[in-house]
Structure 1
């Protein structure tokens, strides 16, 4: 039975999570926070240290069965990521240095369940008995340090489940001490998200509907609520659900939705209502994406403040689905922390080949670079140009980076100019303004796409002018 959002401690903590910070509700951590606040007050005039985006639960995947099925394979070491930040100096004061920063990990409570597989000596990390200390050294105020201090593996005989706390203490000779506690768990969830088939021939300005779906293929339950962060590229979201916050009151492009857990191992769910998005009227291609996080460990997700507008419609809930198919996939390295799915769309606007108007702006005698950027650069293909009278093509020079693309003459240094199809960068038209010619104008055109069976709805915009603007 799924618990409702509004009646759980986890859901109450989501109010904090949606405000951009994640706070534990247990008494021990509350006491630690009070001590830190008291210490911070004593150092209110000096720099401050903070641990940000720290995980509250650190999972160690257990060995999995080999393909032969005769004995388990080694488990993959699980890295621990640390993000250390410093306060910004107040206006009118030069940045100070946070001196002699050290980070100590107390591993005594987990030594019987896990072992250190790797230690980051590059940050001065050294082990002594049941503790590990890293020495980032001095950090300039307003800057920070982000690194992986170690990776751990479970012991072969470690029991599945909670293994104890890893206590972290950050000290400095010029800033108050900071503490954090991470709970170590043997075993791990493996988050997956459903990948939708892309949709084509979508009419610009029409509505798309997507039901985020996610599952857990690991051996460990996620006993937490979940955050679903939705973003729209070349589309806007309809502000609907009251357990979602939106980045704007009108035409939002991002939503953060809190949905109830838990997510047991082997289970998968989809939302019981769709995320609705309206494609931009000028959109050619776009994507509606969503990422699922554990509510109390949202990593470095860009959450929304508590003041962000909330929908006024029904609650967005979940319903059980089969998550065993190939459409449910993991995402990247942090399989226990997040999974991303989404829907790519292509509109009918792609059939309209368009040439961009260009302006060559400069003084007589000057060499000018103009980026040839078409509305659909990844799919537009090559363009052909006729230069305005009084200009001449320069093209690539010695020392230009090899990855840059330049327009060239298409016929033995004469005739029209051709700009290659964009790759990592858009092509550059490099010309010299040789002389002033009143009313000088060239043209840029894109050829028809022979692979596109649909007719171009507006062939007249396949050619546009190239103008010259003289600055002297």
Structure 2
């Protein structure tokens, strides 16, 4: 019994019969359900485990089977104690006697040889809080290729209807490894690659048919439409998950210990924007009856060309075959990250907006597939005489170069090859400094894929010499000011890298960047902000203003008459 179950049972005992009834009425749904009909409970977990004769079958401390109970209802989401849907004793029995002479089994709970019994009291909606335990399977001293057995998991409890689980265990079955790939270093974006694909059955039994899976991330495609293959394309949603998948079926036998290669080439097409896209392929045994349904999935397109076939290869070295075969390609493309600054003017006390622009001018996209979407970052330092009053949510305050207050802004990846982002900063003009400049900069790094590092820096300019400003008290003497020179590196009080978490979006932030204003500056100003603010005030508060004015006028007239 779990510690939480013991606490709940003790609480119910203290409440007594009346308290337990009230608790059930307040949300313990299982008691009411059990009174009407048995609550269906599905025992879940891996229903098949293949043990290899040529490996340690994974981490010996990790179970291959995770047993859980799936209970109807909406899984709990939120804070606080999870409400149960059933209260009452139940047991789950794990019978692994069918593995005698086949494999060793490490069972959870109270085990007596190859039989274990797990007990519980409370059940919750879904599977998250209903874990029974894990089963670890390993080869026995007398395990041989072709040995097979079963584990049967059943359950019982008053008011519960358990659906049992049968786990098939097989030793030394077909085990397919893939021929290793080598990186084509001269491959350029837009070109086609023909990888040498092959498979070797290192298992103890033949494979009665096989399935080939080809995978390419967003920048890769497979132009061949073989008749025994079908494809599906995901080109919407998060860029991290956009891809093309091809499945091909081969009905022939793959003998144990034999290697095979494809009779014809398979082409991988790279897009003009491709860079560090992931290509992978894998073979696996074909399940009985799977060939009839595999190509009929929703969104799959069947090929109309000739079939792709396998042919037996000569002598092969198992060391040249691997479980995972994949490449990042191409590696020769570049992108151009560009920052654009802003120009604004205002008097002391005014608030102005500076829209920082971030763009990828291509031709490559920034996939960041291996890091799961690790963001880029750049720093922003406000011009002298101004204070940032509002920053985009993607930006956090930091100390730049050890002493200069500033912000670090994160740009989520993957990032399209034509991405245009804006980061609006609101600045309060504390005192007018003619020509004050604040620096916007990418990190000072050696990035071989950024084709033009010169545009990785931009400026926010306040009150340029030809712009109107407030020359009164607190202002400058009219001379230009370079403002603080803040490099794009250093982060005292913050991490050296971006602080936002990784995600699978395309990295959009704010609206689209404005048009090219020349010199990386976009003209804004307090005058424009004031005009927009006045228009909004007029639209939202005109009626209220008129009523207030009429009331004041009536009050003054009444006082005068008195």
Which category of TM-score, normalised to the shorter sequence, fits these structures? 0.5 to 0.7
Matched residue, 2:64 = 80
C-alpha distance in structure 1 between counterparts of 2:234 and 2:375, whole Å: 35
Greater RCO structure (CA 8 Å; 6+ sep): 1
C-alpha contact (below 8 Å) 1:60/1:152 kept by paired residues: no
Deviation readout 1:8-30 (Å, 9 max, x if unpaired) = xxxxxxxxxxxxxxxxxxxxxxx
> Could you say if the C-alpha distance between residues 48 and 110 of structure 1 is closer, same or farther in structure 2, counting changes exceeding 3 Å?
closer
> Could you say if the C-alpha distance between residues 355 and 319 of structure 1 is closer, same or farther in structure 2, counting changes exceeding 3 Å?
farther
Which of the numbers 214, 234, 250 marks the counterpart of 2:199? 214
Deviation readout 1:53-94 (Å, 9 max, x if unpaired) = 521x54264899xxxxxxxxxx9699431354636649xxx9
Matched residue, 2:210 = 226
Matched residue, 1:316 = 308
> Could you say if the C-alpha distance between residues 153 and 95 of structure 1 is closer, same or farther in structure 2, counting changes exceeding 3 Å?
closer
CA shift for structure 1 position 283? 2.8
> Could you say if the C-alpha distance between residues 192 and 386 of structure 1 is closer, same or farther in structure 2, counting changes exceeding 3 Å?
same
Matched residue, 1:108 = 97
Q: Are 1:165 and 2:132 matched, yes or no?
A: no
Q: Are 1:256 and 2:239 matched, yes or no?
A: no
Higher helix share: 2
C-alpha distance in structure 2 between counterparts of 1:211 and 1:462, whole Å: 41
1:384-403, aligned counterparts within 5 Å?
387=382
C-alpha distance in structure 1 between counterparts of 2:139 and 2:379, whole Å: 62
C-alpha contact (below 8 Å) 1:102/1:172 kept by paired residues: yes
1:125-144, aligned counterparts within 5 Å?
125-128=109-112, 130-135=114-119, 138-144=122-128
**Please, which runs of 5 or more residues in structure 1 have no aligned partner?**
1-42, 65-74, 298-302, 330-338, 395-403
C-alpha distance in structure 2 between counterparts of 1:357 and 1:45, whole Å: 66
> Could you say if the C-alpha distance between residues 128 and 324 of structure 1 is closer, same or farther in structure 2, counting changes exceeding 3 Å?
same
Q: Are 1:268 and 2:259 matched, yes or no?
A: yes
Q: Are 1:235 and 2:228 matched, yes or no?
A: no
Q: What secondary structure, in the 3-state scheme, does the structure 2 residue paired with 1:109 have?
A: helix
> Could you say if the C-alpha distance between residues 304 and 462 of structure 1 is closer, same or farther in structure 2, counting changes exceeding 3 Å?
farther
CA shift for structure 1 position 248? 3.3
Matched residue, 2:15 = none
Q: What secondary structure, in the 3-state scheme, does the structure 2 residue paired with 1:149 have?
A: strand
Q: TM-score, normalised by structure 2?
A: 0.50
Matched residue, 1:355 = 338
C-alpha distance in structure 2 between counterparts of 1:243 and 1:419, whole Å: 52
RMSD value over aligned CA atoms? Answer: 5.6
CA shift for structure 1 position 288? 0.9
> Could you say if the C-alpha distance between residues 317 and 52 of structure 1 is closer, same or farther in structure 2, counting changes exceeding 3 Å?
farther
> Could you say if the C-alpha distance between residues 146 and 277 of structure 1 is closer, same or farther in structure 2, counting changes exceeding 3 Å?
farther
Q: Are 1:307 and 2:305 matched, yes or no?
A: no
C-alpha distance in structure 1 between counterparts of 2:165 and 2:191, whole Å: 48
C-alpha contact (below 8 Å) 2:388/2:428 kept by paired residues: no
> Could you say if the C-alpha distance between residues 372 and 236 of structure 1 is closer, same or farther in structure 2, counting changes exceeding 3 Å?
same
Which of the numbers 107, 118, 125 marks the counterpart of 1:119? 107
C-alpha contact (below 8 Å) 1:214/1:323 kept by paired residues: no
CA shift for structure 1 position 286? 1.0
Matched residue, 1:36 = none
> Could you say if the C-alpha distance between residues 100 and 228 of structure 1 is closer, same or farther in structure 2, counting changes exceeding 3 Å?
farther
Which of the numbers 325, 338, 355 marks the counterpart of 1:341? 325
C-alpha distance in structure 2 between counterparts of 1:164 and 1:380, whole Å: 49
* Matched length: 374
CA shift for structure 1 position 95? 9.1
C-alpha distance in structure 2 between counterparts of 1:146 and 1:268, whole Å: 42
Q: What secondary structure, in the 3-state scheme, does the structure 1 residue paired with 2:147 have?
A: strand
> Could you say if the C-alpha distance between residues 77 and 159 of structure 1 is closer, same or farther in structure 2, counting changes exceeding 3 Å?
farther
C-alpha distance in structure 2 between counterparts of 1:389 and 1:210, whole Å: 57
> Could you say if the C-alpha distance between residues 83 and 440 of structure 1 is closer, same or farther in structure 2, counting changes exceeding 3 Å?
farther
C-alpha distance in structure 1 between counterparts of 2:179 and 2:113, whole Å: 45
C-alpha distance in structure 2 between counterparts of 1:380 and 1:414, whole Å: 23
Deviation readout 1:239-293 (Å, 9 max, x if unpaired) = 6234333333989622333333544432233343444343343332211123444
Q: What secondary structure, in the 3-state scheme, does the structure 2 residue paired with 1:260 have?
A: strand
Q: What secondary structure, in the 3-state scheme, does the structure 1 residue paired with 2:317 have?
A: coil
Q: TM-score, normalised by structure 1?
A: 0.58
> Could you say if the C-alpha distance between residues 46 and 187 of structure 1 is closer, same or farther in structure 2, counting changes exceeding 3 Å?
same
